[in-house]
Amino acid sequence: MSDLHPERRNFYGRIHGKTLRQSQKGYLAEDLDSLRPRGITWDENPDRTPLDPTALFGGKEVWLEVGFGGGEHMVAMAAANRDIGIIGCEPYVNGVAMLLGKIRAAEVTNVAVHPGDARDLMDVLPDASIAKAFLNYPDPWPKARHHRRRFVTPDHLIPLHRVMKPGAEFRVASDIPDYIRQTLEEGPKAGFTLVHEGPDAWDNWHSTRYEQKALREGRAPHYVTFRR
Ligand SMILES: C[S@@+](CC[C@H](N)C(=O)[O-])C[C@H]1O[C@@H](n2cnc3c(N)ncnc32)[C@H](O)[C@@H]1O
């Protein structure tokens, strides 16, 4: 499932979880192929030729969700904004299967799914092609020596900045104070302008599994908005 180029980059998160339900295996076998944009994997596009993301959605503007987990936020955004297209990236197969189930249930058609690392997608996105980006509850990597694995590092944020349109919004939600600290430090270094940060969610926010887990465990969500 993962298409990480072994000589180029490592992915430290989980790719497989508990055994998939029969229905989830069905979603992966039947639905993923038609939702998966071609030319993102290294096998399909070794020269990293840019793709045209708007062509995926008949010319609509394109949003990006990094690490959609179970897909609840991504599907809610797609359902509430049928005039845009949203591409989600997630290497965790169980998450992809959950998302596919939700796509069927919500009958949304303005979605595309890259079942892998967001860096591989960003490689092949043209400059200034993404109109909004979401990073919800990214992997916290709590140990100091693992902080460089966090998404909010130059390896990820510089390519993200390049692919976003000038003025486009980049949203980050996390319950980990040190992650927010690093986000506020690294975002501007990568060229993003801070618009807002605080404990109140965006008006059109849709909570996620990881946010619900944080709330159950007594941790406080924090929301950061940048502009490209
Ligand atoms: C803590 S989970 C949060 C999932 C979901 N956003 C939520 O709020 O419930 C973080 C997710 O980010 C994914 N992830 C980590 N690095 C990624 C990358 N480079 N590209 C895409 N997804 C990534 C992980 O596989 C994991 O599922």
Note the pLDDT tens digit of each residue in 126-165: 999 999 999 999 999 999 999 999 999 999 999 999 999 9
- The response to whether residue 210 sits with its C-beta less than 6 Å from ligand 1 reads yes
CA–CA separation, 155 and 12 (whole Å): 14
Contacts of 166 (CB under 8 A, 6+ apart): 128, 228
CA–CA separation, 99 and 145 (whole Å): 32
Question: Tell me, what amino acid is at 7?
Answer: E
The alpha helices in 115-176, defined as continuous H runs, are 118-123, 154-163
Q: Residue 63: helix, strand or coil by DSSP?
A: strand
Query: Average per-residue pLDDT in the chain?
Result: 95
Contacts of 85 (CB under 8 A, 6+ apart): 53, 54, 56, 57, 60, 61, 62, 63, 110, 111, 112
Q: What is the pLDDT of residue 90?
A: 97
Calculate the CA 117 to chain-centre distance: 9
CA–CA separation, 77 and 86 (whole Å): 8
Pocket test for ligand 1, best of 14, 65, 151 (most atoms within 8 A of CB): 151
pLDDT at 1 over 70: no
- The response to whether residue 165 sits with its C-beta less than 6 Å from ligand 1 reads no
One of 47, 120, 123, 139 is an active-site residue; which one?
139
Q: What is the pLDDT of residue 9?
A: 75
Average pLDDT over residues 52-74: 96
Question: Phi and psi of 112, rounded to 5°?
Answer: -135, 150
CA–CA separation, 53 and 187 (whole Å): 24
CA–CA separation, 124 and 78 (whole Å): 23
31 counts as catalytic: no
Query: Could you give the percent of the chain with pLDDT greater than 90?
Result: 92
- The response to whether residue 117 sits with its C-beta less than 6 Å from ligand 1 reads yes
The alpha helices in 10-140, defined as continuous H runs, are 22-35, 53-56, 72-80, 93-106, 118-123
Neighbours of 139 (CB within 10 A): 16
Q: Which two tokens stand for residue 112?
A: 């595309």
- Per-residue DSSP letter, 143: S
